Amino acid sequence: MNKKEVANIRKQFKLDHDLLNIYDILNVYITKETNEIYHWERLPFELVDREKQELYMGNFKKLLTGELDQKLFELRFQEAAEEPAQVLLHQALVSGDPEEWQDLMLMLVERMLADAKYERDMVVTFVRGQYYMPTKARNDEAEESEKNEVFAHPFILCSVNSTEKQRKTLLFDYVEREFKYNVIVDPIIKLSTPEQGFLYPSVTDNYSDVNRILYCTGKSNFPDPHFVEQVLNGERSVTALEERAIFEDIVKEVAGEQLDSATIAQVYEEINRVIEINEETKEEEPPKLDYKDLERVLNASGVEDVTTEKVERAFETIVDNKNYEMKATSVLPKFTSKSIKIETKVATISVSPQDLRYIKQVNYQGKRCIMIEVDEDVAIEGFTLASETLLS
């Protein structure tokens, strides 16, 4: 599943969208004290108040928002699972009986509660429905409407949301003309910040892929291992943060611990070029870097003594697999935003990978200093800094 496919699905989650039908919604309330289901409710989605429908749509859209391998993870199912979640989900997907679907989703909730303890009351929301995706890119000159050629995709979506207590407030009663202390015991369901969830099935080349599931987490680079492995029976997925750490360790193994800023900037520029070429050629799969690609990147960046054997050995040392492939988008910090943080005891400097070349670490009078090249005068609190000439 690529980011374009995710975006196409996400944008359909709005009221009255003619390419989306939601049939049923099931809400399950879990109390933290007992770690049990306190209440559940299933309704046809069309019978839900419109104001509530809008809140749910916002929740679903938020759940599906984020970068792949950071907040969204496409997972394969474990082949050796004893009671495969895939079987349960597929049975629920093809079931035309709302009660059977409901019972299967409640079974999934029971799996969520096993060996897990929640710090707050939780609400698990399931919906089942169908969305449609075009079979080909839209041709504005064609007389046929985009809707005439679409694939139907039955789906199940789950959103897990925490709750919070409402604040104690002081109110003024206009009728009685008095100030009142107001305490509301009903918890607020935090639909705007889902904790985690999933979309089943995933999509590959605009086709439903029942052998994969899209897991969503509210906290970047921190998928819930219990939910992924025990509830969904998904295979462990490498996060972008972990992949970047792998990349850094391999580069250190090949080039050493110390690199100047210009070399690091050139490495990032070479990787960004790989991503740009992939986008220009409109490749569906994200670009990946194997040991041959990394050898080329390091050589093009001016790193000395880089050989195929050296890079292969680094891959085997760090990941125990010389044929391992890293996603280029995972190892590269956001190229045009200030995604790199340089932290010192006196200041934190934010800079984009493409501007890293303008920052250098230098020795001045026996002290290490950060030097930043600027094109214009620097102003601090309304004062323009005077330029000083440093003599070694």
* Cβ atoms 217, 102 nearer than 8 A: no
Q: Within this chain, do residues 290 and 311 fall inside the same structural domain, yes or no?
A: yes
| Amino acid at residue number 87 | V
143 Cβ neighbours under 8 A, 6+ residues apart? none
Residue 151's pLDDT is 81
Domain boundary among 236, 255, 290: 236
Domain boundary among 184, 206, 236: 236
Residue 215's pLDDT is 97
- Residue 303's domain comprises 237-391
Residue 50's pLDDT is 95
Look up tokens 């193994």; give the residue: 253
Q: Within this chain, do residues 256 and 386 fall inside the same structural domain, yes or no?
A: yes
Half-sphere exposure of 234 (CA within 13 A, CB side): 28
Q: Within this chain, do residues 302 and 210 fall inside the same structural domain, yes or no?
A: no
Q: Within this chain, do residues 318 and 291 fall inside the same structural domain, yes or no?
A: yes
In order along its 392 residues, the chain shows pLDDT tens digits of: 888 889 999 999 999 998 999 999 999 999 999 999 999 999 999 999 999 999 999 999 999 999 999 999 999 999 888 889 999 999 999 998 999 999 999 999 999 999 888 999 999 999 999 998 876 554 444 444 444 567 889 999 999 999 998 888 888 889 988 988 877 778 899 999 999 999 999 988 878 999 999 999 999 999 999 999 999 999 988 999 999 999 999 999 999 988 999 999 999 999 999 999 988 888 778 899 999 999 999 999 999 999 999 999 999 999 999 999 999 999 999 988 999 999 988 889 999 998 998 999 988 888 888 999 988 888 888 899 888 887 65
Q: Within this chain, do residues 60 and 187 fall inside the same structural domain, yes or no?
A: yes
ω into residue 353 within 30 of 0, thus cis?
no
* Cβ atoms 39, 106 nearer than 8 A: no
* Cβ atoms 298, 311 nearer than 8 A: yes
Q: Within this chain, do residues 229 and 274 fall inside the same structural domain, yes or no?
A: no
Domain boundary among 236, 260, 276: 236
Residue 204's pLDDT is 84
Half-sphere exposure of 43 (CA within 13 A, CB side): 11
SS3 of residue 310 by DSSP: helix
Alpha helices, DSSP H only, in the chain?
Answer: 3-10, 50-63, 85-94, 98-113, 225, 240-255, 261-280, 291-300, 308-319, 328-331
Residue 100's pLDDT is 97
Q: Within this chain, do residues 175 and 258 fall inside the same structural domain, yes or no?
A: no
Residue range 155-169, pLDDT digits in tens: 999 999 999 988 888
| Amino acid at residue number 235 | E
Q: Within this chain, do residues 178 and 242 fall inside the same structural domain, yes or no?
A: no
Residue 184's pLDDT is 77
CA-to-CA distance for 240 and 4, rounded, in angstroms? Answer: 18
Q: Within this chain, do residues 290 and 187 fall inside the same structural domain, yes or no?
A: no
pTM score, two decimals?
Answer: 0.86
Burial of 9 (0-12, 13-18, 19+ CB in 10 A): buried
Q: Within this chain, do residues 195 and 304 fall inside the same structural domain, yes or no?
A: no
Residue 140's pLDDT is 44
Domain tally, the chain: 2
Q: Within this chain, do residues 185 and 65 fall inside the same structural domain, yes or no?
A: yes
φ and ψ at residue 102, rounded to 5 degrees: -60, -45
Question: Long-range contacts for 146-153 (Cβ within 8 Å, ≥24 apart)?
Answer: 147/18, 147/19, 150/19, 151/206, 151/207, 151/208, 153/201, 153/203, 153/208
Give whole-number Cα distances, 112 to 124, 158, 310, in Å: 10, 12, 46
Q: Within this chain, do residues 64 and 119 fall inside the same structural domain, yes or no?
A: yes
At 388, list the tokens: 């000083």
Residue 391's pLDDT is 67
